[in-house]
Amino acid sequence: MTDKTRRDFLKLSAAGVFAPTLSGWLPVLAAAAPAGGKGKAKSVILLWMDGGPSHKDTFDLKPDSKGAGEFKPIKTAAAGVEISEHLPKIAGVMNHGTIVRGMSTPEGAHQRAKYYGHTGYREGQGGLIYPSIGSLVSKEKGRPDASMPNFVSIGGRSYGSGFLGPKHQPLQITDPARGVEDLQAAVAGGQFDSRVGLLDKMEKAFHREYQADAITDHATTYQRAVKLMQSREAKAFDLSQESQSARGKYGTGRFADGVLMARRLVEVGVPFVEVSLGGWDTHQDNFTRVKSLSEQIDAPIAALVADLKERGLLDSTLVVWMGDFGRTPGINARGAKPGRDHYPRAWSLAMWGGGMRGGAVVGKTDKEGAAVVDRPTTAQDYLATVCELMGIDYTKKNETPTARPIQIVEKAKPFTDLIV
């Protein structure tokens, strides 16, 4: 956020612009840009495992290595591909997925790693706050006439729009079971319309006098809020619309509800949804905690992939599972319940659909899971692949408020050979 944008934001906040009913949401939808990539995806669902999941205990088991741990590998629906025994349902949909086992990144601290994974830039680089991939998709593929936001973040605080400004911030949903609150007007329709009309007149008068950019942002914000309140698509936020049998496939808990909501949102055209699950920072009691977390993600992810396939949406929806980084190949000796520490040098992510070839593995780590020995992959490579799949030219440059051109993703080698 620039100094000017920050000052405008603070002024409007002090004036009560960002009311609690719209907390965390500035959903001004951007105009769609011409396609630049070769993929066919229309939406992305990013499943962010906050804290950094252990690759050796999920998607890259090394049963004969030092620090192998307690888990056994099992076969999957993809020939020759094995994953953790605690992900049996995900194993059943790996024929639609790709595992990237060659991830290698430079940041080993949580905040810096999450920032890098979301933006492709290191925190503080160039003195800018860079936009996250969700905000970039909002800008490049968003529809100005849509009644729904272009970027929704469920269950955690996602990285936002950076220098792109408040128009591409995500709508934040803390508890998917509660959806978006206060979508119903507190007064009758005619009275509501009159109040909106009066507010519009006040906004225009205020803008004529002061002409601050943030005033336009605010006007568009409440206009979009009104449009969302009157939209039929807003029912996508209401999980009670799903049958019990449909909800049962996803399991229970906030992550399961968030994944189900993500499916409902892409069905009505939302181009980017992020769902977060915390708890993966397993410095202690790694195996008990990873087993529990694996059970929390297994049913929802498998159900999501199966539902998207059944509805004919898997080719147009990219699903990504990833976190901050991996965990150490060896087990630490601290305390009675040993764990694994931060490890960005070698780790895994998984992708389904979106035009990616299924049943594939990209990259390889050594016998200990400690180093990438084939096709090392950076965050830039992964982000550029997302852009390619979404039809976004990752070499395009966006301008900062000071007219400084910044490339969407720099120094990247996307997985073009895996795009069908």
Rounded Cα distance, 326 and 338, in Å? 16
Q: Tell me the CATH number of domain 27-174+237-418, given options 3.40.920.10, 3.60.70.12, 3.30.1300.10, 3.40.720.10.
A: 3.40.720.10
Q: Structure tokens of 296? A: 């929390």
Selection from 6-15, 173-182, 227-236, 333-342 with the highest mean pLDDT: 333-342
Rounded Cα distance, 411 and 414, in Å? 10
Domain ranges of the chain: 27-174+237-418
Rounded Cα distance, 303 and 263, in Å? 10
Give the residue from 282, 276, 283, 311 showing the smallest Cα distance to 297.
276
Backbone angle region of 412, left / alpha / beta, with phi > 0 → left and psi within -120 to 50 → alpha: beta
Give the residue from 376, 400, 380 showing the smallest Cα distance to 388.
380
Q: Quote helix, strand, coil % in the chain, to nearest 5.
A: 40, 15, 45
pLDDT of 180 over the 70 cut: yes
Q: Which residues, other chains included, contact 48 with Cβ-Cβ below 8 Å and sequence gap of 6+?
A: 156, 158, 274, 275, 276, 277, 322, 323
pLDDT of 31 over the 90 cut: no
* pLDDT per residue as tens digits for the range 40-55: 899 999 999 999 999 9
Cβ atoms 254, 179 nearer than 8 A: no
Q: pTM of the full predicted structure?
A: 0.84
Give the residue from 154, 174, 150 showing the smallest Cα distance to 164.
150
pLDDT of 127 over the 60 cut: yes
Q: Identify which has the larger pLDDT, 220 or 300.
A: 300
CA-atom Rg of the chain in angstroms: 22
pLDDT of 24 over the 70 cut: no
Look at the alpha carbons of 344, 347, 353, 354 in this order and tell me if their dihedral is positive or negative: positive
pLDDT band at 18 (very low <50, low <70, confident <90, very high): very low
Cβ atoms 74, 34 nearer than 8 A: no
Rounded Cα distance, 302 and 260, in Å? 11
| Average pLDDT estimate for 407-412 | 97
Weakest mean pLDDT among 18-22, 309-313, 359-363: 18-22
CA distances from 311 to 93, 264, 275 (A): 15, 11, 21
Average pLDDT, the chain: 85
User: How many other CB atoms are found less than 10 A from the CB of residue 306?
Assistant: 16
One DSSP character per residue, 74-121 reads EE-SSTT-EEETT-HHHHTTGGGEEEEEEE--S--SHHHHHHHHHHSS
CA distances from 122 to 133, 201, 240, 252 (A): 14, 43, 41, 36
Residue 364: φ, ψ to 5°: -155, 140
Beta strand extents in 20-92 (DSSP E only): 43-49, 73-75, 82-84
Rounded Cα distance, 269 and 98, in Å? 24
Cβ atoms 202, 218 nearer than 8 A: no
Q: Identify which has the larger pLDDT, 5 or 61.
A: 61
- Greatest C-alpha distance within the chain: 72
